[in-house]
Structure 1
């Protein structure tokens, strides 16, 4: 049954992709008589739960979809379709580290199929790791040279790495190159490589077929602008920043940030990222700036961009803080466990796991983690006090609340805790 479900999912992914390429229309998932009958024949089965997860995702109820998939995986822990769909949904949610784990598990469960690799390509594409995208596409193309998804993403990666000649070659693929998305990519690659007249021919051809194509229209406008500028002295096609240029912009960004000019710093770091998407310093700068602005979603994203390329303890701590601010404590605790492998006494990791265990109602373990995080730290003492309160060890709780107040007489959490203790004793 798992195999059958996997192939339904596999075909749905392929058909969705080819729809995007304009190759053929896609039938609605699970609409055949046989498929509907299988659900009717097995009410409550994991197939029905899987269909429920798909329905939730179509309605963009991603949390509902994950709950349904959790039930599927409880029944069939190695179901490739469920693991891969879980990865897709986690990717939709921007939970990149959890998505990677799901895609890898799905790939292990069905190594003969490319879907796990597809997911990892999407993940690395989202996190701007174009070199990794190329490596993953190469894995697929070695077995299937005409795989449309791999050809398209290889071309896309070369374009973003500013290897425009390689991008043109791939966008002009003899099998996949006739779709609109591939021809658009070819037009933009030709334009960026300085072959303005060739780019104009491509965009005009696309507009002749579909005059309302906004992307082709924008390309044509860019061509017209380039034709005007290319006769100006010193005009050249935009190239990747040199390391020296990147370092100069990074220095300017740091100075702007130190002066409180966050918007200016964001622009400078963003400019470096456009020219050198692998620049970790620019990513960390963006992440830190967005953190200072309270834009935790953007901060979390840029920390993930760094972590997707290489282990970085500072980025990992930043990511944990961002996830905590977003209320994503399960993911924060998971990353904290990774951090503890490198730094067993890291207070942020220990306190994050402590709070997550507290939320789960595991007050004994939470108390232990708070104690490991800092026996004398006011915040950790407060955490232990509340754990003891929940465990109904009121005397220990009272002592800890008082210890917090000795350090911080105006600590609201400790004051409220003592009030609750008095109320509990009266009852």
Structure 2
């Protein structure tokens, strides 16, 4: 265990050379960077690069075709692409057209299931991810030259962009019966909070996630909201990926992913100053960070900052966040959750929904801001408040969702339930 390091001030990368206009939507933020610095790399995918300007131009053409094809404001469209470059163009096009991006459900037939459950107007995919089970709606393969030959003849829609800050940006399907609608404001607010906390000092956010996963989306729009580069794969095979970044980069992982990468990484390369080579900051999104993971991090990478965000529902809006220091491993409770991130308010509740006092273990629930249609969101985790007013996550309840589980009420079958984040 290393000695506790003093906290360092996070420095966020300015979005562009000039100040951005009043930031309203994800696609407007992206287009602003594309206009100010067109050659800046948006996605570094191995040896493949996609600049901000290239992505924005392709998205405008695709969005025009979508509008001509009848896409209306608020229409869902499934995005199921092979790589992050295609997924970026697809998302920008859907948002510019005023639609809502729906990631495909996992597993065979996931795109067809997502289209069927949401009533999607189209599926934007790759040739390798084309789902033959999709019925009744068109599928556009973005790596098929014939797709772009058809789009090339479509005039640019002058009403673009049709997105609005209050409109939904993504509908994340929890399963075939339930989805969470995330608007532009929620993504941008979360991205701004991450920049203030952890910073994007070198302009690179590194991930090791499939396109359109919740954590990948959180990292993607964090990077693009501040004009950074999203790096998704290494230029050549490297056993230390994605922990091979430069000192001024940020790597975003789930806690489970970080454990696997620490297990598989070879002996760490050291810089001239003795610090471990790799990213300057690791941000963990999803479940809590355990004491064992904290200890391993500072034993192997004592010079790398470690931030933990407890984001149990979708990864878009963290419920809690804090920077973990080496000394946190000596506390009597698990270090993993931290303090609530406004505007989310948290409670620990008992079997009857009553608020429990400090130290009592119960269900962790979030009390939503005014725009949530539900009063409460359920995390699926148990925990308690500690004397220092942070949340100690003790584990998952043994029972599953249903009337017998106070952590999560039963969800009626036969309909898609919506929650707005």
TM range (shorter): under 0.3
1 or 2, which has the higher helix percentage? 1
| Structure-1-length-normalised TM-score | 0.23
Q: Higher relative CO (CA 8 A, sep ≥ 6), structure 1 or 2?
A: 2
| Structure-2-length-normalised TM-score | 0.23
1 or 2, which has the higher strand percentage? 2
The structure with more radius of gyration: 1
